Amino acid sequence: MAGKNTVFQQKSTLNVRAKLLDLSKPKIMGVLNLTPDSFYDGGRNNNIHDALQKTEQLLSEGAELIDIGAYSSRPGAEHISEKTESDRLIPVLQALVKEFPDAILSIDTFRSGIARIAVNEGAGIINDISAGSMDPEMFQTIATLGVPYIMMHMKGTPQTMASQNIYKDITTEVLQYFTSRIQKLKNMGLNDLIIDPGFGFAKNLEQNYELLANLEYLKSVGHPILVGLSRKSMIYKLLDTDAEHALNGTTSANTIALIKGAKILRVHDVKAAIEAVKIVNQMNSLRY
């Protein structure tokens, strides 16, 4: 990748259920896992009461989006049926929509059927780890629903991705991956798109950091960048610790991502991420 001074113009607003979400300043997406086996907080929010309490905490700390996942995508996670995913997700989603009617709720799913039901129940964004590759109906479903779509880079599936981390030039390949998918979606009339480079998904430690170092190049696709670095193994393995003790490393990595152009941080720890955004915003306001 050559040339460090190119200026890229990113789309700065998203239309979420007829309301504009302004991304001219970075936003925080709080993670709400409904799975029993997620790598950090699996099993902590598996009933409606706990999920409501966790969501209230995330929103009170400053999260402007809540990402709800009922399918564990950690490396080697068990593949579950669509019914199991739906049974975990929909009752909690219904309760959240009732309790927090103004909250922007994102659904972390690769299944078009789940996406359709969730949007009909009040979700505003679909977050797809497979960018349409695990369900051929997803793109058309999103086009029909007309909701913002987060597409992540991944090779293989959560069950096979650990063996798929073969690249000649990871930054170029990730960029090409998004460019082709964005063109398909734009041809279907979709413009509210967000890209996620997929840290930890079919990437080893060195590849993750190479992609982080080159993150600004992904701005060339013209759509906001979301990063999910929170407490991942690329952080805690480098620091010789574990996910429970990876908050400081997460904040450091998130700060780098913000400086390089990330517009949404997907995090477990909202307060720390808000502070990182404030510091980077202050620096940027005095840069010119």
- Residue 29, classed as helix, strand or coil, is strand
* CA 117 – CA 100 distance, rounded (Å): 18
Token pair listed for 120: 């009909």
Sign of the dihedral through C-alpha 171, 234, 153, 158: positive
Contact predicate 14/148, CB 8 Å: yes
Helix (H), strand (E) at residue 195? strand 193-196
Among candidate residues 219, 208, 270, 232, the one with its CA nearest the CA of residue 64? 270
Catalytic center residues: 232, 266
Pairing of strands 19-22, 193-196: unpaired
Matching residue, tokens 């073969």 = 166
- Residue 257, classed as helix, strand or coil, is helix
The DSSP secondary-structure symbol of 169 reads: S
Q: Hey, how many other C-beta atoms are within 10 angstroms of the C-beta on 14? A: 26
- Residue 151, classed as helix, strand or coil, is strand
